[in-house]
């Protein structure tokens, strides 16, 4: 077996499980109903991109959106994890973007098609350095922000989440077994907007981490 | 690094990329339009199940369907793979089932939600032994069948596919980089039907392989 280093989970982790519409103000800005259960979708590990490499705009979209999200890194796998034990399965966190081809997503939604083309493309999951669990003692009160070319676009707090991290871990693990190295994206606050080639994105978790990505065109 | 044995790709492969509606007769039986481009969705590697372990009916469905499919195992990764070179990236094949919670999928389609709950649950991807490429010299003419409790339900030939294997490899790799150990499910012929606890499923590729799975209830 490989020696798996959790601080480089993106190199060997096998799942990215994403939650949509987990902040009421974001659900509203996209004119979606407030969900009564989590909206779950997947990105493949090939979607990861790290600082120093660009976010690529797929050729088929003309409306690529940023969504800044808190990522939860699973340290200990499990199935049907009770909420009360959920945090024992967390190794740490990462600041993440859920890059979304909004025009394609709208089309998928109206045609009843899966969201893969809108959500799962290469570089659709920019990810920060690993943040050990101890650095975020209260994950239910984390301030996230995102700037495009130095203009603040998103600013929110995980206290606004509809479904908490323990709830999500329990809910997901009832039907999808969680494994070490998996990542859960917990949804985005309001303020999503379009990015273009040459834009510079900067995102942060207050007092913990920042990251920078440049947007480029797929050649 | 791990020594990766391609004959056990399900233990370490990181993606399962599935194609929907790739046989016209199956698209019709579900009253879907014949697609003009591939319908792509994902299962996570936690969906794999091997002979000897049961297919589990998720608690939230009352209409679990079998879909027998030819799986293509990627041996050499790549991005934007041209159709002419696509078969060089194939290591072999596997006989697969795309287990589908049809009631949930119908609900997702009508609400414009992602298909994850319908397609990505534990045991939603029963998979046979690895079939080396040489055992299937012409993948465009492979006969697949599936029986439930000895009654033939599905019988089709990959010659009926709307999008060929080289086309799919090229199409997918334009936006999702393929990696060694990835699996592509190429769609199902007509005859999908509901399975229940205690059912016995048998599936085969004519002259190549058979596999057996029992259906059980999630406890
Ligand atoms: Mg999906
Ligand atoms: Mg999101
Ligand atoms: Mg299928």
Angle at B129 between CA B124 and CA B132, to 5 degrees: 125
Spans of all domains in chain B: 6-217
Residues 6+ apart with CB under 8 A from A44: A16, A120, B14, B15, B17, B42, B176
Among residues A124, A127, A157, A156, the alpha carbon closest in space to that of A140 is found at A157
For B170-182, the pLDDT digits (tens) are 999 999 999 999 9
Given 3-state DSSP classes, what are the helix, strand and coil percentages for chain A, each rounded to the nearest 5? 25, 35, 40
CB of A8 within 8 Å of any CB in chain B?
no
Give the separation between CA B94 and CA B31, rounded to whole angstroms.
28
Question: Which 3 state secondary structure label does DSSP give B109?
Answer: helix
Phi, psi of A77 (to 5 degrees): -70, 170
Residue B2 pLDDT level (bands cut at 50, 70, 90): low
Mean pLDDT of A102-112: 97
Phi, psi of B150 (to 5 degrees): 75, 0
CB atoms within 10 A of CB A198: 11
Residue A27 pLDDT level (bands cut at 50, 70, 90): confident
Query: Which residue in B39, B110, B179 is closest to A113 by CB distance?
Result: B39
> Is A113 in contact with B37 (CB distance < 8 Å)?
no
pLDDT of residue A26: 87
CB of B115 within 8 Å of any CB in chain A?
yes
Give pairs for B210-214: CB < 8 Å, separation 24+. Answer: B210/B95, B211/B51, B211/B95, B211/B126, B211/B128, B211/B129, B212/B51, B213/B49, B213/B51, B213/B54, B213/B55, B213/B97, B213/B126, B214/B54, B214/B55
What is the phi-psi region of residue B21: left when phi exceeds 0, alpha when psi lies from -120 to 50, beta otherwise? left
Task: Give the containing element (helix H, strand E) for A201.
Answer: strand A200-205
pLDDT of residue B1: 46
**Cα dist from A137 to A90, A93, A129, A208, B94, whole Å:** 12, 11, 17, 11, 45
> Is B95 in contact with B71 (CB distance < 8 Å)?
yes
DSSP structure string for B158-174: GGGBSS-HHHHHHHHHT
Q: Which of A25-34, A52-61, B66-75 has the lowest mean pLDDT?
A: A25-34
Query: In CATH, which superfamily holds the domain spanning A6-217?
Result: Fumarylacetoacetase-like, C-terminal domain (3.90.850.10)
The β-bridge partners of B214 are B200
Distance B218 CA to ligand 1 centre (A): 22
Given 3-state DSSP classes, what are the helix, strand and coil percentages for chain B, each rounded to the nearest 5? 25, 35, 40
Alpha carbon of residue A34 to chain centroid: 19
A175, burial (CB in 10 Å: exposed 0-12, middle 13-18, buried 19+): buried
For A47-84, the pLDDT digits (tens) are 999 999 999 999 999 999 999 999 999 999 999 999 99
A143, burial (CB in 10 Å: exposed 0-12, middle 13-18, buried 19+): middle
- Residues with a beta carbon under 5 angstroms from ion ligand 3: B 67, 98, 188
Question: Which 3 state secondary structure label does DSSP give A48?
Answer: strand
Mean pLDDT of A93-114: 98
CB of B35 within 8 Å of any CB in chain A?
no
pLDDT of residue A1: 45
Burial letters A18-52, b for 16+ CB under 10 A, else e: bbbbbbbebbeeeebeebeebbbbbbbbbbbbeee
For A141-185, the pLDDT digits (tens) are 999 999 999 999 999 999 999 999 999 999 999 999 999 999 999
**Mean per-residue pLDDT over chain B, rounded:** 96
Alpha carbon of residue B170 to chain centroid: 18
CB atoms within 10 A of CB B152: 11
> Is A183 in contact with A130 (CB distance < 8 Å)?
no
CB of B112 within 8 Å of any CB in chain A?
yes
The β-bridge partners of B194 are B65
CB of A39 within 8 Å of any CB in chain B?
yes
Distance A150 CA to ligand 1 centre (A): 33
Contact A41 B121 (CB under 8 A): no
Alpha carbon of residue B199 to chain centroid: 20
Contact A17 B44 (CB under 8 A): yes
């Amino acid at each position: 077996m490989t020696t798996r280093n959790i601080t480089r989970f993106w190199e060997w982790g096998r799942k990215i499980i994403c939650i949509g519409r987990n902040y009421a103000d974001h659900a509203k800005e996209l004119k979606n109903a407030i969900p009564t259960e989590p909206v779950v979708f997947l990105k493949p590990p090939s979607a990861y991109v790290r600082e120093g490499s660009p976010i690529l705009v797929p050729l088929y979209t003309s409306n690529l959106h940023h969504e800044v999200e808190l990522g939860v890194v699973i340290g200990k796998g499990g199935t049907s994890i009770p909420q009360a034990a959920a945090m024992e399965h967390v190794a740490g966190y990462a600041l993440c973007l859920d890059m979304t081809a909004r025009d394609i997503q709208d089309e998928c939604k109206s045609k009843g098609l899966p969201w893969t083309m809108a959500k799962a493309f290469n570089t659709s999951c920019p990810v920060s350095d690993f943040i050990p669990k101890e650095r975020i003692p209260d994950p239910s009160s984390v301030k996230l922000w995102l700037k495009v070319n130095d203009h603040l676009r998103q600013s929110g707090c995980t206290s606004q989440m509809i479904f908490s991290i323990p709830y999500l871990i329990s809910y997901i693990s009832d039907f999808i077994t969680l494994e070490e190295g998996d990542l859960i994206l917990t949804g985005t606050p309001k303020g999503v907007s379009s990015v273009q080639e040459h834009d510079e994105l900067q995102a942060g978790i207050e007092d913990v981490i920042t990251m920078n990505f440049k947007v480029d065109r797929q050649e």
